[in-house]
Chains A and B, each alone.
Chain A
């Protein structure tokens, strides 16, 4: 299994809503990532978890709250978002020891904030 699965594929939410994006991988990877990608822009790193601990937070606003319940799952909790947060949110995973550190990406969750 070389897949990273993200749900939902599409999400529309209001600025007062609370929602969550989910990501799952079963490759035994111990690093998991959230990236944000706006149209015609490269993916921007948001968070990195290493061995289920938050290791990198790229100064992301607190309305985005990551969670790593176990080594296979990664969530991104969303609350009080702004319309400018509308984007494609990509989850990725990689090996931490051995390998090349290649990122395996999910298909993404396309978020629209109204």
Chain B
């Protein structure tokens, strides 16, 4: 089976940096995604990690440690529009099975 854990809620201040952690246990691990989802909308892709290390994309960075079953999403220079849910998702079983964690609801405050 699979187990994906992430905090359910976080609050951060506009302009600050926030780190959202995700731990996972799975067989046949092939990679880890981060998605953003606003209420009532479909998830949108943020990042993908398959090898250990940091992937940077603008204000967003994602880190993976396969040996520790751990990932984080780092958001810099927070903006109000960054409020929403951030979903950690594990790819397993080839390019087929993407399983989502419960999601972290981030609230950005002025």
Contact = CB atoms under 8 A, between A and B. Distances in A.
Interface residues of B, number: 24
Interface of B: 30-31, 33, 35, 41-45, 48, 50, 87, 91, 93-103
B100 to A, nearest CB: 4
Interface string A81-112: 00000000010001111011111111110000
Interface stretch (A12-20, A42-50, A66-74): A42-50
A102 B33 contact: yes
A101 B30 contact: yes
Contact of A42 (B41, B44, B97, B101): B101
7 smallest beta-carbon distances between A and B, as pairs: A42-B100, A105-B42, A101-B95, A100-B48, A96-B95, A42-B103, A48-B96
Given A42-B100, A50-B96, A55-B96, A107 B42 contact: yes
24 contacts: A41-B102, A42-B87, A42-B102, A42-B103, A43-B43, A44-B100, A45-B98, A45-B99, A55-B96, A56-B93, A56-B96, A56-B97, A90-B42, A94-B98, A95-B95, A96-B96, A97-B95, A100-B50, A101-B31, A101-B48, A101-B98, A103-B35, A105-B42, A105-B44
Contact of A31 (B87, B95, B101): B95
B98 A105 contact: no
Interface residues of A, number: 26
A103 to B, nearest CB: 6
B77 to A, nearest CB: 24
Nearest to B30: A101
